[in-house]
Structures are given as C-alpha cells and as structure tokens.
Amino acid sequence: METRATRIGLWAWGALIVAFLWIPLLIMAVYAFNSSNIQSWPIPGFTTKWFHEAWNDEEVRTALWLSLRAGLLATAVALVLGSLAAFGLARSRFFGRDSISFLFVLPIALPGIITGLALNSFFVLWGVSFSIWTIVIGHATFCVVVVYNNMLARLRRTSGSFFEASADLGANGFQTFRYVTLPTVGTALVAGGLLAFALSWDEIVVTYFTAGAQNTLPLLLFGFIRQGQNLPIVNVIALVVIVVSAIPVWVAQRLTSGSGGSGRGVGG
Amino acid sequence: MAADPARLQEGSPAGGALRALSRFSWRRPRLKTLGQISAPVAAFVFVYVAALLALLIQGFWTTDSFTGKVIHSWNLDNFRAIADAPYPTIILRTVGMATAVTLTCMVLAFPYAYFMVRIAGPRLRVILLVATVLPLWVSYLVRVYSWRLILNPDGALNWLLNLVGLPDLNIAYTNWAMWIVFTYIWFPFMVLPVYAALERVPQSYLEASADLGAHGPTTLRRVILPLAVPGLAAGSIFTFSLTLGDYIAPSLVGGPGSSLIGTVVFENLGLANNAPFAAAFATVPLAIMAVYLVLMKRLGAFESL
C-alpha cells in the first residue's frame, strides 16, 4: 500500500529512533573510559584507571554492598509474595478478585513519588527508623508485581489438569509441587526474580524516600551528580549499573521468550 | 516432569499429614486460595494501603515552623497553601510539560510503530522491540545523566553541530533540556501500546479501504489512525503520569525555572522539612491523574493497556 518514498522515509525514521534510543547509552559507556576528568566530547583518550579508583572507594563499596543486599532481599520477598498471589488468583474466581489484583499492580500504576512519600509518612508515623529493611519494603512493593505478572502469565498457559493428574496418581501436595508445579513454573519464577532484582538494583525514586541517610548505589550517584563531584567515578558506576541491570533482563527474556510475560508495565 | 518414578512412590502410601493437607486443600479450594493469598494481601493492605492512608492523613497536619516537628492537629492549611504563589505556576508548567512530552512521544512513536508492524520483517521486528524495551530496564537515573553529558556546552551535541557547521546550542539546564529528556525516557512506554494497537489492525481492512478507492493518506487518516487511538491513549497515560510525578530530571537537567510538582514534593520533604505540605501537594498529581484517566477511558485506553 505504501509508496516507495513512504517506505524509504519509514526506514529512515526507524533508524533515527533506534539511534535516539541507543546513542546516549553508548556515549555514556565511552565516558567511563575517559582519560581526562573534564567531561567534554570527544574524550581525549582511553583509560581504565577510574574503574580501579571506583572499586577502591570506600563510599562506593558500601553503597554497592547495600544495593546488592537490598536487591537480593527485595527479590526474595517478591518471589514469595508474588508467586503466592499468582497461585491464589490464577485459577480462582471470587468476589473482590479484581480489586485484589488491582492492589498488587497499584505500586507501578501510581507515580513513584506517591509510593515513596506514602511509605515515608508511614515509617515516620510509626517511628520506624530507616534501615536496609525500609529500603527492602519500598522495593518489594513494586517488585512483587513483576513476579506476580510473570507467574500469572505462565500459570494461565498451563492446564490445571496437570496438577489434578498428579494428585490422581497418588502424589501429595509436596510431591506435586516438587515434580509438577516447579518444573512448569520454574523458568517463569527465575525470570520474575531476575527482573525484580534488575528493578530494585537501579531504583531511585522510591528509594530516596525510604533510605534515610543510607546510600544505595543510585542514591550515591544522584548525590555525586548533583554536587558535580567525582564525575569520572560517576561515569564508571553508571556503566556498571547499566551492565548489571541489562544482564538479568537479557537472561529473563531468554527464559520467557514467546510468553511475553516480562513487560515492565509502568514504573519510573 | 520426567521425574524418577521410584521416588514418586516413596511417599505414596496413603496417610501422613501432608496427604491430609493435600486432600483438605482439594476439597476446600476456597480455603486453599485464602491460604495462598492471605499473606500477600495482608502485606499490601497493612503496609502499602496503610502507607497511602498515612500520606493522606499527614496532609492535614502541620509543621511547627520553629521546632520543625509535625503537629497532629487537623486543618486544611496545607491544601489552601497549594493555591499560593508560586504553586499554581508550577502546576501549570508541569501539566504543560506533561502534555508537550506526551504529544512529542505520540508523533515520534506512531511512524516508528507503523514501521515495525508493516515494513519490518519478523526478525527485524523482534530486534526493534528488544531495542525499544531494553532501555526501560537500564537505570532511569543513568539515562537522565547521559543527556547531561550530551547537552553540556562542550558535550556531544555541540560537537556534532560544529561538525556540520552549525553554531552552538546551549540548552543545558533549561526546560528544553527537560522536554528532550522526558521524551527520551518515557518514549518506550508510548511505543508498546501503539505497536500493539497497530498490530491488531487486520490486513483486510486496508485492502477494503483501497478497494473502495481510498489512497494511502486517506486510509491512514480514516482507517489506521482511528484504530490506533486507544493505543495512543494508553501510551499517553504512562508518559503523562510519569512526567507529573518526576523530580529527578528537573533536578539534574532543569534550570532555576524548571520546578515541577515532583520538585516541590521532593524539596519540602528534604530541604524545607515540611512533610505535611509535601503530602498535601502529592494529592495534586493524584487528582490530575484521576481526571486524565477518566478522559482516556473514553478513548478506549484501558482495552489497550
């Protein structure tokens, strides 16, 4: 239907959009190897010394460690709550079911600042002092939905008769779980966990309100950028943050390819 | 599922607590469901919903300007203060920015999604989808920061402009920079629903339109575009809502005149130490979004999410 000129125009448009999406990230990656500590383009030369410097920075290490622990704990909470919710809601129909599933999606449907401020008010109201656990609670709210969505998509494509057949053959609940359920939902569970970790690892909007004086890696980065400090180290951390969040997402994509269950939904 | 049958037999003889539990949960599916969802539901109600209530309640309290302590006395002062300068300007600026970003994303995303659906082959389509979605997962902070590097007076933008013989463009730390950055970070949220909407347009509709004598542009305007409206509306929910609540981009790439709703909330909680006002002000984007969602629902956005 399209004329030749239209087709050429659309090809060019597609190429421009992909360039628009990816060139900033590539430029960011190049800056991590900038030999100068002045952030001008093009960079005068390549070096890897900032990686060394970032690794040996005490503040960076503390933040990295906190980010990793908070990410793993939030992922663990999300895996338990998200899969329980998916198992409970996948095959049941009851009054209020839609409201409950809306409840799980709410943290990504509302702007992050609302979730963050709400949790902040809540913690202050109850006199909860900020710790790694307040960060984990903040992250878990929006990580649960990722696991939930992935598991729900998988369970909907699995016939309930598998589980019935297992019971008919004399398996108890644990055996059915071990030999039927787990092999069926295993990859969806792993994919959900990886995506949850990727979300938690680089989250900043909610974290700012639930971290108190602690610094996760993104919070440290935010502070450095705002003060214009340690910019060479900022570039290195930025590249590391990109790579560490891209790898789990890529693996998750492979695990669920074809199921379309890894959409991020709303989030910021 | 290819489990070792011998092991399956081990626990098979009837009896045992596990078996009793399995039998019970099979006979009472409602109780089983309840058992499964009670933990996540309780966690969300007692933490998340309770937190949203705490936010609302906090908005009615005040902060003692001398001690900085929150006073638990009920009044509407915080909500009245929203109407004081400079807040109406900030709210208008935010809504204007959200509208501009949404429209720009639509204009950029429609031809791109059209290209993916109708021109690109199946392999290229998958590659393009991944290339569009992956940046969403890359740290949002890093993506904002990358534009700070690009828009710097001696950054990549001016280098490129000078290369082709154009003068410098100094838009770092302005509303223009914010507009570019917001468009950049929310763009994938617009592409996905528009792509899904266009993908559902049957080929036969386009053939019928051509058979009835419509030219390409007429088919585009009278057939394809109306069918893409729900997708555009669904995408706009994300771009609009996310811009309303953002405080990172204004603080990193915006300038002195770039305060948005998010900035006010952020600064009142941090620097100004006025959490009740921050809470009251956070209801503004909630109210705007409620109105926006009603409008978009009419355009069929929810069927396209």
The ipTM value here is 0.82
Residue B65 confidence (pLDDT) above 90: no
Cα three-residue angle A213-A218-A220, rounded to 5 degrees: 50
Residue B15 confidence (pLDDT) above 70: no
pLDDT on residue A266: 36
Looking at the complex, report in whole angstroms how far the Cα of residue B229 sits from the nearest Cα belonging to chain A. 19
pLDDT, mean over chain A: 86
Best CA proximity match to B269, nearest among A228, A205, A137:
A205
pLDDT on residue B150: 93
Confidence of residue A14 (pLDDT cuts 50, 70, 90): very high
Q: How many Cα atoms are found within 13 Å in the side-chain-facing hemisphere of B296?
A: 24
Residue A260 confidence (pLDDT) above 50: no
Longest CA–CA span in chain A (Å) reads: 71
For chain A, what percent of residues have pLDDT higher than 70?
95
CB A104 within 8 A of CB B269: no
Residue B18 burial by Cβ neighbours in a 10 Å radius (0-12, 13-18, 19+):
middle
- Is residue B102 left, alpha or beta, with left meaning phi > 0 and alpha meaning psi from -120 to 50? alpha
pLDDT on residue A265: 40
Nearest to A88 among B33, B114, B188 (CB): B33
- Residues A199, A268: Cα–Cα separation, whole Å: 10
* CB atoms B112 and A17 under 8 Å: yes
Taking residue B177's Cβ as centre, other Cβ atoms within 10 Å add up to 23
* CB atoms B58 and A169 under 8 Å: no
Strand, coil or helix: what is A1?
A: coil
pLDDT on residue A103: 85
- Residues A141, B126: Cα–Cα separation, whole Å: 31
> End-to-end alpha-carbon separation of chain A, Å?
39
Residue B16 confidence (pLDDT) above 80: no
DSSP single-letter state for residue B116: I
What is the pTM assigned to this prediction? Answer: 0.84
Which of A255-264, B163-172, B191-200 is least confident? A255-264
H, E, C per residue of B205-255:
HHHHHHHCCCCHHHHHHHHHHHHHHHHHHHHHHHHHHHHHCCCHHHHHHCC
CB B118 within 8 A of CB A2: yes
Nearest to B140 among A100, A253, A268 (CB): A268
Radius of gyration of chain B (CA): 26
Taking residue A224's Cβ as centre, other Cβ atoms within 10 Å add up to 19
Which of B45-49, B179-183, B192-196, B213-217 is least confident? B213-217
Write out chain B residues lying below 8 Å of A21, CB-based.
131-132, 135, 184, 187-188
DSSP secondary structure string for all residues of B145-181: HHHHHHHSTTSHHHHHHHHTTPPP---TTSHHHHHHH
Taking residue B60's Cβ as centre, other Cβ atoms within 10 Å add up to 17
For range A204-228, the mean pLDDT: 90
Looking at the complex, report in whole angstroms how far the Cα of residue B115 sits from the nearest Cα belonging to chain A. 6
Longest CA–CA span in chain B (Å) reads: 85
In single-letter form, the type of residue at position B171 comes to I
Q: Which residue of B has its CA nearest to A253?
A: B130
Which of B72-76, B131-135, B291-295 is least confident? B72-76
H, E, C per residue of A62-101:
HHHHHHHHHHHHHHHHHHHHHHHHHHHHHCCCCCCHHHHH
Better pLDDT: B260 or B28: B260
Best CA proximity match to B68, nearest among B265, B279, B271, B281:
B271
Rounded to 5 degrees, φ, ψ at B71 are -100, 130
Residue B83 neighbours by CB under 8 Å, 6+ apart: none
Better pLDDT: A92 or A27: A27
* CB atoms A10 and B3 under 8 Å: no
Looking at the complex, report in whole angstroms how far the Cα of residue B184 sits from the nearest Cα belonging to chain A. 7
CB A219 within 8 A of CB A207: yes
Radius of gyration of chain A (CA): 22
- Which residue, chain included where needed, has tokens 């507009």? B179
Which of A33-47, B22-36, B157-171, B175-189 is least confident? B22-36
CB A212 within 8 A of CB A134: yes
Best CA proximity match to A158, nearest among A91, A225, A245:
A91
Dihedral sign, Cα of residue B289, residue B291, residue B295, residue B301? positive
For range A60-86, the mean pLDDT: 94
Using N-to-C axis directions, what is the helix angle for A97-109 and B29-43, rounded to 10°? 30
Looking at the complex, report in whole angstroms how far the Cα of residue B242 sits from the nearest Cα belonging to chain A. 6
Q: Which residues of B188-197 are buried (b: 16+ CB within 10 A; e: fewer)?
A: bbbbbbbbbb
Nearest to B115 among A13, A42, A169 (CB): A13
pLDDT tens digits, residue range B185-198?
999 999 999 999 99
Residue A56 neighbours by CB under 8 Å, 6+ apart: none
Q: Does B240 touch chain A (CB under 8 A)?
A: no
Write out chain B residues lying below 8 Å of A130, CB-based.
none
User: Residue A246 is encoded by which pair of tokens?
Assistant: 């891209």
For chain B, what percent of residues have pLDDT higher than 70?
92
Q: Give residues 159 to 198 of B whose Cβ lies within 8 Å of A.
A: 159, 184-185, 187-189, 192
Q: Does B119 touch chain A (CB under 8 A)?
A: yes
* CB atoms B248 and A11 under 8 Å: no
